[in-house]
Chain A
Amino acid sequence: MIRTVYVERAVRDHARAREILARLPGARLIEIERYGDVFNSHDQSFRVQKAAPALVLAEKVSRHVLAAPAGYGFPDRENFYFSHMLNCLYDCRYCFLQGMFASAHYVVFVNFADFTDAIERTLEGAAGPSAFFSGYDCDSLAFEGVTGFVRTLLPFFAEHPEACLELRSKSVAVDALLESDPLPNCVAAWSLSPPEVADALEHGAPSPGARLGAMARLAERGWPIGIRFDPLIYHQGYADHYRRFFAEVFERLPLSSVHSVSLGLFRRPSPFMKKLLRMYPEEPFLAAPLEDQDGVSSLRPELGDEMRAICTRALLEHVPESLLQPCFSGETP
């Protein structure tokens, strides 16, 4: 439950800010000048805030759409991402947002129209087909009940079939999608882990089974489904756990509905990993043998290569290679 809301003075009377505030009648309202005054202070504890995050309502004034990091996105498109929100409702121990942000508060940028305007401008200037990723700095669907962002976004992409949108989520809040006709250019993608990993590390997130249920409902309605086995978590028995889980996933989801499948080892920029280790020194999965290479910390190569090979082999028992996306080299939530 959100009990504290910081709101930038400039958006206090913005229609969407008023709508959101109306859904949080018991919250204490604190006016601020800029969200960075609350969000960016580096002496904060992400872990403590995560137990009771505040909501920050702000205006995104620039850089609404950004080029995706190298290696992130669809191989045949120019890839971009945008973030109407910073941070996520869930508390996944491996989440890279913990390393990236100083605060666990949820920031929602209420000027949605500026995002769609920026996407439109990007499309006009793009050399070829483009893809836009939501859910890089947040979960695309989990906070939909409060923000209504996806409901704003879908009509825009319905009018721009040349552009591809990926919504990335662990949520089962799929009403916004079920209420809309399926869009062939909108991929609803889920991050999935076997129950052994999810139970231990994905605190507050719907169970993998519940996520699969939501995905199956959307698949049935004709939405293209993305499956992201990312990050793969190294632990005792991982080969069996992932093998069993892949079988369950593709038993419940018709292959015809699957847009793409990707799989990536747990990896983080080295400074993010250091922060993670300070926050959760007691986490067993962070005790795996890690190594820094080119500023990225990940499983020691001999173990990482083996894990990737085992999981890829297990996955290819269920999906054709053509559906496999290359592993994203950058960080992912």
Chain B
Amino acid sequence: MTTHIAVAMSCEARPLLDAFGLRRDPAATAYPVFAGEGIALVVTGVGTVASAGGVGYLAGRTGATRADPWVNVGIAGHATLPIGTVALGHEVRDAATGRRRYPPRSLVESMDSTAVISVADVEREYAEDAAYEMEAAGFVDTARRFGAAEIVQVLKVASDGPGELWNELDEARIVELMAQTIEPLRSLVACLAGAPVGAPLSGDLLESRLSSWRFSVTQRRQLASLQRRWQALVAEEDFVASLEDALSTIAASASRTEILARLEAFVSALPIVLGASTDGPV
């Protein structure tokens, strides 16, 4: 599992690279990409379009799955939050289109949050009680094509506001502000990691053991279904032995249809034992 982080500017990335031990990926040429243990970071450039492009590029490089978290981190102007305050986005609005997204809070309910408005130009009015920035809308729309909504989040640090002007921000100040996001980001990454968001069924184990037969796409789906049922009914430590047991009865000359029928009969004969579980809310 890899947590994907998108930032707009190099100076926003700098403290994160140090904190998470990320190194430049020399093969990534379209956008600067950095990688370390369980984390990949892309510097997208400013604006929703650049952000969307950077997210797509990073997903392509890492082969992102639905279970991989995504976080957009960056500075934002805010009407009311004190400078340096870090907050998640609970609403992300594209000012140009009015389109709203609501990053689910199920995994992050204890963290402070704010509305986030993505604008095309620097905000000087701070008209609403919200964070004003320029990437989150493009980020969320694109990242949710790869990851489940619950693990696509936006984390902003208040950098300017009515009392502190955006044009007084320099790189050193941005680095200083972004350093405030490191601990909240660590907590966030821990919250999002391993969330059971569901994954496509795989028949990889059965397929690899039966690789000398060439199964059709439909038959591979049947193998995936059989493997799922099998693994649900047999303890993890017993699965390989159970698999070998069943496969030992299959002749080398058996047809693919015969193999599927034999395995189906084997799995259907396994007892269905319901286990008590403590999972689930009260």
Contacts and interface: CB of A to CB of B under 8 A. Distances in A.
Interface residues of B, number: 47
B273 A287 contact: no
A282 to B, nearest CB: 5
A48 B101 CA distance: 18
Interface stretch (A30-38, A242-250, A322-330): A30-38
Interface string B97-137: 00011101111011001010000000000000000000000
B251 interface: no
B277 interface: yes
26 contacts: A30-B91, A32-B102, A41-B102, A43-B144, A44-B149, A45-B196, A45-B198, A47-B196, A48-B104, A48-B148, A48-B195, A52-B106, A52-B109, A53-B106, A54-B105, A54-B106, A103-B104, A203-B280, A204-B282, A235-B274, A278-B200, A285-B274, A286-B232, A287-B267, A288-B272, A289-B268
A281 B203 CA distance: 12
B113 A203 contact: no
Interface string B187-201: 000000001111111
A199 interface: yes
A197 interface: yes
Interface of B: 90-91, 100-102, 104-107, 109-110, 113, 115, 144-145, 148-151, 195-201, 228-233, 264, 267-268, 270-277, 279-282
Contacts, number: 135
B277 A203 contact: yes
Nearest to B277: A200
B104 A44 contact: yes
B275 A45 contact: no
A58 to B, nearest CB: 13
Contacts of B268: 289
A6 interface: yes
A196 B197 contact: no
A199 B276 contact: yes
Given A200-B277, A287-B267, A288-B272, A49 B198 contact: no
A4 interface: yes
A199 B149 CA distance: 30
B102 A37 contact: yes
A54 B282 CA distance: 14
A272 interface: no
B149 A50 contact: no
A51 interface: yes
Given A91-B280, A284-B272, 20 more contacts: A3-B105, A3-B109, A4-B105, A28-B90, A32-B102, A37-B102, A38-B102, A43-B148, A45-B195, A45-B198, A49-B106, A103-B104, A197-B274, A200-B277, A203-B280, A204-B281, A233-B274, A288-B272, A289-B264, A289-B268
Contacts of B106: 48-49, 51-54, 104
Contacts of B144: 43
A256 interface: no
Contacts of A38: 102
A113 interface: no
B90 A52 contact: no
Contacts of B230: 287
Interface in A1-15: 3-4, 6
